[in-house]
Amino acid sequence: MADALLSWGLENSAFVHDGIDLFARSDRAARGLRTRRPLQAKEVLLRIPGHMSVQSHLSLMPDSPLSEFWRRRCAAPVSNVLRLTLTLIHELHVQKSESRWWPYLSFLQSSVEVDLPIWWPESDLQGLKGTALWLSAKPREVSEVFEEVAKPVMAQEVSLWPPQVQQLPLFLQALSWVMSRGFCGALSFDLQGAVIPELSVWDAASSGSSCSSASPTITGPFLLPLFDLINHSSWPEERCVELEMEGEDFVVRASKEVAADSELFKSYGDHSDAELLRTYGFVEQGRNPNNVLLATHQELLDACRAMEGQCTERLERLGTEAVYAIPATGVLPAELLTVVQVLLMSPSDYGEFHSSELQILGKKFHIRGSAHGQKVTVCTGALAGSMCQLRLAWALCFCKLCLIGANIYTYLHPETKT
């Protein structure tokens, strides 16, 4: 399948540098791109014609009965994520070898295994409690989402999606490719915990568009064959490729000099291990610099109520975030400290703050040596203490997670109440 994919790319005018191996060994994944000889900065490694990409945006989809359905006959607005997912099902299981992307899709089907939490049974998902993937609300059942969101669209046109392809496993397979290999996806997840991305029409509805008029500001997600063979690194010093557009071509260049027999890495984004697991099905082998702790609205309330803070009324006036991200350095963000400070203020101090129209209090105010400052210290200490306890709980959960998939091979640092 690898040779067929490469041949298909070359037949479609793609360029592949002779100094790289597209299907080489990798220490991080099943395979990766590796150099056969030293590369110079700015050398072109891949040139991929735009027509090889699999698009979700209506203006970029090639004319076909499927695109005609999306533009004219679809009964309701459909998000780009769902549109691309259902397009993959049609191309792989209905068009089959007649699809223009057949070598690419058959390569994915035979060679790519993605162990995303959307595939996990209920018993395994229990191990994610207390993480960003299951923060306070139980993740919605994927079968429920399929029946309510995806299946009604497919049922509108059985010539495009016959009954035999309207199946949950095929939907999950296509969605896992969109999640793990899609570019410019702008995936959205419920802040209270979710393993499946939002499939609603937020991208269309936000611009007031209909089914025949997609959002002009959201062009993804889309799949880009060959480029999606490059693995991710969370460490900037390891990344060595950059993607640019030249006309209608996607051009991949070396961003710096690369030694022979080195794996090429790119960035999927500054994601924590929890997000990498949810969206891509893996976690990093070392300490991910993008890992964060999340302090929830309720944790702030609980910690401050212990100090007799006047919480509810002040939170309503202040306007707060649902979740606050605390970096791995442990330095509490000013926004979070401001909330704690305000919740613990005396009535006179709060009146002064409220009339000042300040949104964030300065560092000097946070660390001032006063009785109020001591309250803040106790409150944030209680918050940190509760997180430390949850970190220990997560370590126990990780022991179970190690049994779930062979690709979860290192310590997880979830982006929540670890």
pLDDT of residue 402: 34
For residues 324 and 286, the model is more confident at 286
pLDDT of residue 320: 63
Instruction: Report the distance separating Cα 334 and Cα 326, nearest Å.
Output: 10
Q: Which of 192-196, 209-213, 220-224 has the lowest mean pLDDT?
A: 209-213
**Euclidean distance between CA atoms 32 and 229, whole angstroms:** 6
| Contact assessment for residue 60 and residue 228, using Cβ atoms and an 8 Å cutoff | no
pLDDT at 27: 87
The predicted structure's pLDDT at residue 179: 94
What whole-number percentage of the chain has pLDDT above 90?
Answer: 47
- Which of the two residues, 382 and 78, has the higher pLDDT score? 78
What is the 3-state secondary structure of the chain? CHHHHHHHHHHCCCEECCCEEEEECCCCCCCEEEECCCECCCCEEEEEEHHHCECCCHHHCCCCHHHHHHHHHCCCCCCHHHHHHHHHHHHHHHHHHHCCCHHHHHHHHHHCCCCCHHHCCHHHHHHHCCCHHHCCCCCCCHHHHHHHHHHHHHHCCCCCCCHHHCCHHHHHHHHHHHHHHCECCCCCCCCCCCCCCCCCCHHHHCCCCCCCCCCCCCCCCEECCCHHHCEECCCHHHCCEEEEEECCEEEEEECCCECCCCECEECCCCCCHHHHHHHHCCCCCCCCCCCEEEEEHHHHHHHHHCCCCCCHHHHHHHCCCCEEEEECCCCCCHHHHHHHHHHCCCHHHHHHHHHHCCCCCCHHHHCCCCHHHHHHHHHHHHHHHHHHHHHHHHHHHHHHHCCCCCCCCCCCCCCCCC
Of 58, 20, 60, nearest in space to 37 by CA: 20
Q: Give dist(CA 337, CA 179) in Å, integer.
A: 34
**What is the share, in percent, of the chain residues with pLDDT greater than 70?**
73
* Residue 251 main-chain phi, psi, to 5 deg: -115, 125
User: Residue 133: what pLDDT?
Assistant: 84
In this structure, of 17-31, 160-174, 285-299, the range with the lowest mean pLDDT score is 285-299
pLDDT band at 316 (very low <50, low <70, confident <90, very high): low
Token reading at 312: 């509810």
Q: What angle do CA 401, 406, 411 make, to 5 degrees?
A: 50
Residue 370 scores a pLDDT above 90: no
- Return the pLDDT at 124: 87
Between 146 and 284, whose confidence is greater? 146
Q: 């944790």: which residue's tokens?
A: 299
* Band (292; pLDDT cuts 50, 70, 90): confident
One-letter amino acid of 338: T
